[in-house]
């Protein structure tokens, strides 16, 4: 557990540190970018685990003839890349100062919910850890020791 100790050396020093902290937390873009990195890691892990419902034998054979031995939901890799790479075709990556959105605009992705949901359930503890580390760093860089 991280602890933060604030020692007031003077009013102006404290005010300067709080102003610096406010500046670092007004735009959360650096935090959202860290969240994006984690999102893409978790999506890759989901696709690697491939917890999808098995294909029917007929469709599996047809898919194998057309696409080779590609895993489920990876025939063209469009959906996979849209969920694992910023800037890929169909990737949604919208980062603003106070909000963020990641995902896929690949139209057929919606048809895999809920039986073969291509979106990983977020590891909330991991995101809380990332946010906590970001906040501790922001506090320290603002002049609090």
Q: Is residue 118 part of a domain?
A: yes
The count of structural domains within the chain is: 1
Q: Is residue 48 part of a domain?
A: yes
CA dihedral 81, 127, 53, 117 (to 10 degrees): -70
State the pLDDT at residue 54.
87
State the pLDDT at residue 17.
83
State the pLDDT at residue 4.
73
Q: What is the CA radius of gyration of the chain?
A: 21
3-state secondary structure (DSSP) of residue 104: strand
Q: Is residue 35 part of a domain?
A: yes
Please state whether the predicted TM-score (pTM) of the whole model is above 0.85.
Answer: no
Q: What is the largest CA-CA distance in the chain?
A: 76
pLDDT mean over 119-136: 87
Share of the chain above pLDDT 70, in %: 90
3 vs 9: which has the higher pLDDT: 3
Q: Is residue 88 part of a domain?
A: yes
Q: Is residue 1 part of a domain?
A: no
**25 sits in which H/E element:** helix 11-26
Q: Is residue 22 part of a domain?
A: no
Residue 55, strand partner residues: none
Q: Is residue 104 part of a domain?
A: yes
Sign of the Cα pseudo-torsion (89, 49, 102, 30, in order): negative
Q: Is residue 8 part of a domain?
A: no
pLDDT tens column, 61-90: 999 999 999 998 899 999 999 999 999 999
Cα 83 to Cα 51: distance, rounded to the nearest angstrom: 16
Domain that residue 67 falls in: 27-133
């Amino acid at each position: 557990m991280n602890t933060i100790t604030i020692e007031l050396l003077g009013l102006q020093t404290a005010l300067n540190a709080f102003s610096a902290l406010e500046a670092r937390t007004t735009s959360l873009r650096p935090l959202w970018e860290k969240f994006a990195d984690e999102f893409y890691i978790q999506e890759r892990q989901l696709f690697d685990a491939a917890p999808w419902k098995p294909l029917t034998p007929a469709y599996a054979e047809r898919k194998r003839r057309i696409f080779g031995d590609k895993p489920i939901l990876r025939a063209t890799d469009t959906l996979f890349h849209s969920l694992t790479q910023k800037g890929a075709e169909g990737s949604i990556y919208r980062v603003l100062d106070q909000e963020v959105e990641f995902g896929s605009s690949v139209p057929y992705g919606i048809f895999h919910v809920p039986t073969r949901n291509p979106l990983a359930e977020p590891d909330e503890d991991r995101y809380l850890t990332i946010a906590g580390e970001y906040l501790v760093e922001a506090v320290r860089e603002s002049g609090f020791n």
